[in-house]
Amino acid sequence: MSSLAWARSGGRAGSVLGWGRRGTGALSGVHPSARRFIIDLSYSAHFMDFKGSSIPSSMKKLVVTKLSPNFRDAVRTQTVAVPTPGDSDLLVRNRFVGINASDINYSAGRYDPSLKPPFDAGFEGIGEVVGLGLSASSRYTIGDTVAYFGSGAFAEYTVVPAKESVPVPAVKPEFLTLLVSGATAYIALKRLGDLTKGETVLITAAAGGTGQFAVQFAKKAGCHVIGTCSSNEKAGFLKSLGCDRAINYTTEDLAKILRKEYPHGIDVVYESVGGSVLELAVNSLAKKGRLIVIGFISGYQTASGVPSFRGGTLPVKLLQKSASIRGFFLPHFLSDYREALDSMMQMYAKGELVCEVDCGDLAQGGKFMGLESVFQAVDYMYAGKNLGKVVVEVTPPTVSNSKL
Ligand SMILES: NC(=O)c1ccc[n+]([C@@H]2O[C@H](COP(=O)([O-])OP(=O)(O)OC[C@H]3O[C@@H](n4cnc5c(N)ncnc54)[C@H](OP(=O)(O)O)[C@@H]3O)[C@@H](O)[C@H]2O)c1
């Protein structure tokens, strides 16, 4: 997930979407949590639930201080004052934040070359409103639960424009999986996949954050789904999602399997790895096949960020099969975003969508808790250990003693 346009617009999706109207938000399909209404109007410019949530005077946040795809080199933890929300903003206490493969593209400055360090890291969070500006109070109140897709999420508290936040029924990490990972799979397959029942779909990095959703949406479209992953445990997870052929590429030869078991080729590829995997996928396309470039994670840790790709004969290959390669970048499809979230929320509420979250319970250092564990979580993803969406629990649940 990277977007120059997105980063230049302040890194937030909601301004385009106009979210945040109470009760009409994208994720309003399930019962909202109980609200504590503000009766103390002693603050004229903004309301802060200092009494209820014990907002401290300082907080930690992760700041990119040097451009590098090595997240540990690029990012430092800083202790700063808890920000005060502006008139139309919310102050969100982040309970959970999502880790994305592109967090290291962002720390390398690949999103917006004009953005110079220091700048804040993290793309998405979910938490509770603990403070808000006067205008924002017409739509939100203290205690509301919101999610957001925007910059600066790797912090204990983040200021989010009210119109850019997404009301959620509860602070559950499952909702966080939909903001970027789920939306990418939903919109990319819908807009660029042209899936037809009975077609064969190959999904790479299938057991990860976005891959898990691509598997489920391709199955819902009636396709035969092949998913690649790096362990038997992940292959088992893919099977549980309905994946017809889970390939653990560490024990099975992907090229041989595709050649032998799919001699007519692959109709649609949802491709996230790049390099040699992309080459293989191109060579495996069926007549009129469509390959969607979702990412190229195998190159993100390198200086260029781009894995090598031998594409000299690409035009010939595409022409001979009337095949196509299509790029997808979520921030370019924001007009589809609201419908995608609504639809996925309905599916989740009905028990028709698995939103697998990996909080690192089985990671070497244990569960990802506290802001500092974002570093471990990024390493964990790049070691290929995650099963589902990597999520960090930034702060513990609030025990409310609000007097507001
Ligand atoms: N275009 C967009 O708008 C958009 C939006 C969101 C995400 N994406 C892309 O989707 C892909 C997945 O992102 P995500 O955030 O959902 O991550 P993820 O799939 O949750 O985690 C990354 C997975 O990729 C595999 N992997 C990790 N390092 C690798 C490496 N060096 N070489 C090859 N495979 C590696 C691992 O799976 P295995 O070990 O099982 O292979 C790992 O679990 C990335 O390419 C990302 O850029 C694109």
DSSP state of 388: B
**180-332 matches 41-171+356-393 in CATH topology:** no
Least confident range from 55-59, 228-232, 320-324, 380-384: namely 55-59
CATH of range 41-171+356-393; options 3.50.50.60, 3.90.180.10, 3.30.70.20, 3.40.50.300: 3.90.180.10
Mean pLDDT value of segment 323-348? 97
| H or E element in which residue 246 lies | strand 245-248
Residue 139's pLDDT band (cuts 50, 70, 90): very high
Collapsing DSSP to helix, strand or coil, 115 comes out as coil
Determine what percent of the chain is predicted with pLDDT higher than 70. 85
273 alpha carbon, distance to own chain's centre: 16
Q: Ligand 1: does its nearest atom lie under 6 Å from the Cβ of 297?
A: yes
Sign (positive or negative) of CA dihedral 324, 16, 176, 155: positive
Q: What is the pLDDT of residue 164?
A: 86
Q: What is the pLDDT of residue 221?
A: 98
- The model's pLDDT over 186-207, given as tens digits with 9 standing for 90+, comes to 999 999 999 999 999 999 999 9
| Closest ligand 1 atom, residue 101 Cα | 15
Q: Ligand 1: does its nearest atom lie under 6 Å from the Cβ of 183?
A: no
Q: What is the pLDDT of residue 96?
A: 98
Q: Say if residue 140's pLDDT is above 90.
A: yes
- Is domain 180-332 given the CATH code 3.40.50.720 in the classification? yes
Contact present, 4 and 146 (Cβ < 8 Å)? no
Q: Ligand 1: does its nearest atom lie under 6 Å from the Cβ of 1?
A: yes
Q: What is the pLDDT of residue 157?
A: 97
- The model's pLDDT over 268-291, given as tens digits with 9 standing for 90+, comes to 999 999 999 999 999 999 999 999
Residue 398's pLDDT band (cuts 50, 70, 90): confident
From 272, 273, 308, mutation site for ligand 1 pocket: most ligand atoms within 8 A of C-beta: 272
Q: How far apart are CA 354 and CA 281, in angstroms?
A: 26
Q: Ligand 1: does its nearest atom lie under 6 Å from the Cβ of 234?
A: yes
- The model's pLDDT over 70-94, given as tens digits with 9 standing for 90+, comes to 999 999 999 999 999 999 999 999 9
Q: Ligand 1: does its nearest atom lie under 6 Å from the Cβ of 380?
A: no
- The model's pLDDT over 149-184, given as tens digits with 9 standing for 90+, comes to 988 999 999 999 998 899 999 999 999 999 999 999
Q: Say if residue 313's pLDDT is above 90.
A: yes
Q: Say if residue 404's pLDDT is above 60.
A: no
Check: pTM over 0.85? Answer yes or no.
Answer: yes
Mean pLDDT value of segment 28-56? 50
Find the 215 Cα to ligand 1 centroid distance in Å: 14
Domain ranges of the chain: 41-171+356-393, 180-332
Q: What is the pLDDT of residue 129?
A: 96
Q: How far apart are CA 120 and CA 155, in angstroms?
A: 9
The bridge status of strand 145-149 relative to strand 266-271 is unpaired
